[in-house]
């Protein structure tokens, strides 16, 4: 992709739009400069990595609280973004509410196929 992007030259024929089209290069990517993380960001990423190695069950909330307790000014969204960037994920169990526990009994639905009428409803309530 970088090689094709380097082939696009401004102010020559064909236009930049056509060059991008021919080379299958996304035009906005020509104007976007990648942001290099600064030293503070790298230090924070190192600290998050250390904490994650020490406590792999910590999620972004607990990591944020731990970092704030140590005096680092950081919010949860920043920690989430950096964890995603580094590929870190908590090892704690995730919610799994749609799967029933195998040991719980499954009760049959007794009203299936029955037509509920006014008299039937009264008998069911009694």
For residue 36, what are the CA distances in angstroms to 26, 39, 95? Answer: 21, 10, 36
pTM for the structure as a whole: 0.59
For residue 42, what are the CA distances in angstroms to 19, 34, 54, 62, 85? Answer: 37, 16, 18, 20, 12
pLDDT of residue 80: 97
The position carrying tokens 């509920």 is 116
Residues 120/114, Cβ–Cβ less than 8 Å: yes
pLDDT at 67 over 60: yes
More confident residue, 48 or 17: 48
Q: In this prediction, what percent of the chain has a pLDDT beyond 70?
A: 93
Each residue of 26-59: pLDDT tens digit? Answer: 888 888 887 888 999 999 999 999 999 999 999 9
Cα separation of 47 and 67, whole Å? 8
């Amino acid at each position: 992709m970088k090689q094709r992007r380097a082939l696009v030259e401004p102010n020559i024929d064909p236009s930049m739009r056509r060059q991008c089209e021919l080379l299958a290069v996304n035009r906005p990517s020509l104007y976007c400069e990648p942001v290099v993380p600064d030293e503070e960001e790298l230090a924070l990423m190192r600290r998050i990595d250390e904490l994650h190695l020490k406590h792999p069950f910590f999620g972004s909330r607990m990591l944020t609280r731990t970092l704030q307790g140590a005096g680092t000014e950081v919010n949860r969204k920043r920690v989430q973004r950096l964890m995603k960037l580094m590929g870190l994920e908590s090892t704690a169990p995730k919610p799994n509410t749609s799967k029933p526990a195998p040991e719980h009994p499954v009760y049959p639905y007794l009203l299936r196929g029955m037509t509920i009428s006014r008299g039937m409803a009264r008998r069911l309530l009694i």
